[in-house]
Every structure is written in structure tokens, then in C-alpha cells.
Structure 1
Amino acid sequence: MIAQHVVVHGQVQGVGFRWWAAREAARIGVTGWVRNRADGAVEALVEGEPEPVRTMVDELASGPRHAAVSGVDVEDATPTGSTRFVVEP
């Protein structure tokens, strides 16, 4: 089990990014959370087996159709043992 902390920059708020991320997480089979940041970015913690986590990070870097991702910061994180993917405010 691994975890990655991801910050997605660009036009990523007000476009359904968090709810899209939750659907993608369920489809891919990862857990964690996603939330908006005050600076306009979207932040997520993704955890699971290495390949699904990499797939989810790639999806976050692309974003949903109406998003315009300008950059992504990814750092290794400590897995929390989360059992679901949560959309936070």
C-alpha cells in the first residue's frame, strides 16, 4: 500500500473536479480524499496499491472535461488506512 499527496493547479474549482475525482477513485479502486484549497487549487490524498494510485494521479493530472489543469505537485505520503474516498469541502 502506498499513498500520494497531490495538488492540482489551474481552473480546477467550479468545474465538478472533486465529484469527478470521487467517481474516478471508485472506478480505479483507490481510497483517500479530495478538497478545494483557498488558493484555487484542488488537493487530494490517494492511497492503495501502486498501479491504481499511479493511474489515479495520472487522471487527476488530466482532470475532467471542463477543467484546465496547469500543473500538478505530487509527493509521497504515509498511508492512513482509509477505506473509502471522501469529497471534503
Structure 2
Amino acid sequence: MINYHLIITGRVQGVGFRWSVYQLARNAGIEGIVMNKDDGSVYCELQGPIEIVKQLITKIKAGPTPLRAN
């Protein structure tokens, strides 16, 4: 089990990014939170098996809407 804390910047608000990350994490069985920050970034905490979390982070990097990148 691993716990990652991520701050994602760039075009991540107003494009469905937070919802997409939430859906991907939920589908993968990853616990955590995803929230918009006042500075325009998105903060994520992801917790789960290391390989599944790493796969999710790879999808997040595909972003602004990582769910559509599947």
C-alpha cells in the first residue's frame, strides 16, 4: 500500500479533470481525495496498491481529461 500526494497544475480546472480523476480512482479501487485549489491547481491524495496507483498517475499525466484518454 502506498500514499501519493499530487499537485497538478496547468489546464486542470473547468475541463472535467477532477471528475475524471475521481472516476478513474473509483474504478481502480483507489482511496483518496481530489480537490480544486484557489491557485488554479488540483490537489490529489491517492492510496492503494503501488502498481495500481502508478497506473493511475500515468493516466493523470495524460490529462486534462484523463478519463477520455482510455
**TM band (smaller chain):** 0.7 to 0.9
**Map of 1:53-68 to 2, 5 A cutoff?**
53-63=53-63, 64=65
- One-letter identity of the residue aligned with 2:24: E
Contact 1:6 1:57 in 2 (8 A): no
TM-score by length of 1: 0.68
- Higher percent of residues as strand: 1
Unaligned runs of 5+ in 1: 66-89
- One-letter identity of the residue aligned with 1:49: P
Which residue in 2 is equivalent to 1:28? 28
Runs ≥4 residues deviating over 2 A = none
Using the TM superposition, give the Cα deviation of residue 41 of structure 1 relative to its aligned residue in structure 2, in angstroms: 0.7
Contact 1:28 1:55 in 2 (8 A): no
Structure with the bigger RCO (C-alpha within 8 Å, sep 6+) is 1
SS at match of 2:52: helix
TM-score by length of 2: 0.84
Count matched residues.
65
Following the alignment from structure 2 to structure 1, what is the Cα–Cα distance between the partners of residues 6 and 27?
A: 18
- One-letter identity of the residue aligned with 1:31: E
Taking only the aligned residue pairs, the percentage that are identical comes to: 37
The two structures, once aligned, show a CA RMSD in angstroms of 1.2
